[in-house]
Amino acid sequence: MLEHDVLVIGAGLAGMRAAIAAKAGGANTAIISKVHPVRSHSNAAQGGINAALTDRGDNWEDHAYDTVKGSDFLGDQDAIEVMCRQAGRSLIDMEHMGVTFNRDDEGHLGTRAFGGQRRARTFFVGDFTGQALLHVMFEQLIKSGVRRYEEWFVTSLIQEQGRVCGVVALEIRTGQLQAIRAKTLIFCTGGLGRVFEPSTNALIVTGDGMALAYNAGARLMDMEMVQYHPTTLAGSGVLISEAARGEGAHLLDKNGERFMKKYAPNMMELASRDVVSRAEQTEINAGNGINGCVLLDCRHLGEKLIKEKLSQIREIGIDLAGADMIREPIPIRPGMHYIMGGIKTDVDGLTNLPGVYAAGECACVSVHGGNRLGANSLLDTIVFGERSGNHAAAVSKQMEFIEFDGDAAVKREEQRIQGILNRPQNGDRVAKVRLAMGQSMNRNLAVFRKQEGIEETIQELQELKTRYAQAPVDDKGRVFNTDLVFALELGFMLDCAETIAVSALERKDSRGAQFRTDYPKRDDENWLKHISVRKGEVGPEVSYMPVTFTKWKPEERKY
């Protein structure tokens, strides 16, 4: 049987960073990814990555404070300190690995301003930072000699003696199922954006790891905290990076007014994402938008800057909205972008399941709390990816493999999958169920939420689960059966959707990305705590976890 000390699931930035660290720590390490590594969603990151560099007059405490405030005081301050202290070193590591960050006129690493931060500390490569980081990380992965299972899809976990000790995975090219034994597992499976429709996330971002871990008994935390990005393109919902506002773009209502002056007179367009998204939605609801959108105006930035620093989003505007931002404003609106919650971990990535780690967007350390600052996620992936890899490598040295019958595990999974393939053809198609889920989430768990809406979605999710259990898979073949993969992903998504809705219903205050029109105030007395869910007999079981404070006391949040 295939076996490894450390098995990393997911080859985005977090996964590759974790695998490189685990290998360097002397562990027999492998990485598994359902797509070729450089097709992971990290590749789509546009705007940049935050770090406070001391030799640039910045300091990690300021970065940490901005992050704490951005989180609406729900982020765990010990974890935020770890991330912000390590940021400078992690950034320079990436530079030394070969990332060609943009530089300023003096030849230093250049920065741009990003939302919710009092100074410009976002380092970037044009408006395709994620691609630059991911490709360099992939080169390092190859160099490290980590075993790669590319285009292998993890369908289930193997648990023996109360421990997760391996996975069953589908080799997509051949349709073969294989068991892989592992002493430790690191989930780096990314977010769940496509649980909402539309979303800025790639179609592959379906919450697989969160659902697998949850079903194995892991604790998920902060799941109600879903970030709507203020600038997603009309129609397709494709992201228009915050880099545009970072470089100075304005948001306009239908009369050409910069409406942000009403909501965030100091930071204007560069207030936190939750604040800007709510402002836009308020204006749109009041009839001050155009066709359900407001306008992003970059004209005053000039052709030279746009072509040099915002070339990708300019092309997106031309190709998908028929609007060239050099000459005209483009229509945008808030759209689902990121999940702050995820598999609860400590600062070394360890979850409540022994030997199981998580890092990157699928994890919740919690450094983002109620709202993530733009450009803190790429940072989160490399800081906590590395720490998880280090820790897992060290721990796996003290551990033995747990024996299990791999053939039996594969056989069980084959039977389950055959059951899906054998379904009668008369049920609803997977795509239809997926769309109904996404639309329900986007209707009731978006920028503004209220009890009746959330309950409606919880009800709809139950019905969709029943329909899902009967949804047929057309392709009965083995080779590249993406139809089957799509069906398995939907199962994971429905589990994730339920944890989001249940957590949102539980939280009866408005904080960060969650705004309850029926509880419009932040209520620190009762709700300055994390909501955590574990799988129970009939659905998610809710409990609370304390927020960790170090030096920053909760205060009113104004921008």
Ligand X SMILES: Cc1cc2nc3c(=O)[nH]c(=O)nc-3n(C[C@H](O)[C@H](O)[C@H](O)COP(=O)(O)OP(=O)(O)OC[C@H]3O[C@@H](n4cnc5c(N)ncnc54)[C@H](O)[C@@H]3O)c2cc1C
Active site residues: 229, 245
Residues in the chain: 559
DSSP symbol at 43: G
The two structure tokens encoding residue 486: 């799509």
Distance CA 348, CA 412 (A): 33
Distance CA 190, CA 362 (A): 5
Per CB under 6 A, 15 contacts ligand X: yes
- Closest CB to ligand X among 246 and 453? 246
- Closest CB to ligand X among 227 and 396? 227
Per CB under 6 A, 486 contacts ligand X: no
Per CB under 6 A, 232 contacts ligand X: no
The two structure tokens encoding residue 276: 């800007």
Cβ distance 312 to 551 under 8 Å? Answer: no
Q: Pick out residues in 424-483 that bind ligand X (CB under 6 A).
A: none
Q: How far is CA 504 from CA 209, 222, 284, 448, 543, in A?
A: 21, 9, 23, 11, 13
Of 77-85, 182-190, 259-267, 452-460, which segment contacts ligand X by CB under 6 A?
182-190
Rg over CA atoms, the chain: 22
HSE of 317 in the Cβ direction (CA atoms, 13 Å)? 25
Distance CA 170, CA 153 (A): 5
Per CB under 6 A, 110 contacts ligand X: no
Distance CA 74, CA 461 (A): 28
> Site for ligand X (CB under 6 A): which residue of 6, 7, 8, 9?
9
> Site for ligand X (CB under 6 A): which residue of 8, 27, 30, 35?
35
**By beta-carbon distance, which residue lies closest to ligand X?**
12
Rounded least distance, CB 361 to ligand X, Å:
4
Of 9-17, 95-103, 413-421, 460-468, which segment contacts ligand X by CB under 6 A?
9-17
Q: Which residues contact 345 (CB under 8 A, 6 or more apart)?
A: 351, 357, 358, 359, 363, 364, 365, 384, 388
- Closest CB to ligand X among 46 and 514? 46
What is residue 390's three-state secondary structure? helix
Distance CA 398, CA 354 (A): 13
Q: Pick out residues in 302-361 that bind ligand X (CB under 6 A).
A: 338, 360-361
> Site for ligand X (CB under 6 A): which residue of 7, 8, 19, 44?
44
Of 45-53, 69-77, 418-426, 525-533, which segment contacts ligand X by CB under 6 A?
45-53
Distance CA 384, CA 371 (A): 18
Rounded least distance, CB 87 to ligand X, Å:
11
Rounded least distance, CB 261 to ligand X, Å:
26
Of 61-69, 91-99, 202-210, 280-288, which segment contacts ligand X by CB under 6 A?
202-210
Mask: binding to ligand X, 233-252, rule CB under 6 A, as x and -? Answer: ------x-------------
- Closest CB to ligand X among 205 and 332? 205
Per CB under 6 A, 83 contacts ligand X: no
Q: How far is CA 294 from CA 238, 300, 332, 341, 512, in A?
A: 15, 17, 6, 28, 22
Cβ distance 552 to 77 under 8 Å? Answer: yes
Q: How far is CA 402 from CA 47, 183, 274, 430, in A?
A: 43, 7, 45, 36
Q: Pick out residues in 254-313 that bind ligand X (CB under 6 A).
A: none
Cβ distance 300 to 253 under 8 Å? Answer: no
With tokens 């079981």, the residue in question is 541
> Site for ligand X (CB under 6 A): which residue of 4, 23, 34, 387?
34
Of 26-34, 89-97, 274-282, 300-308, which segment contacts ligand X by CB under 6 A?
26-34
> Site for ligand X (CB under 6 A): which residue of 6, 7, 8, 11?
11
- Closest CB to ligand X among 193 and 406? 193
- Closest CB to ligand X among 434 and 522? 434
Which spans in 422-481 are helix H?
A: 430-444, 451-468
Mask: binding to ligand X, 122-141, rule CB under 6 A, as x and -? Answer: -------xx-----------
**Residues near ligand X (CB under 6 A):** 9-15, 32-35, 37, 40-42, 44-49, 129-130, 153-154, 188-191, 200-201, 205, 208-209, 239, 338, 360-362, 375-378, 381
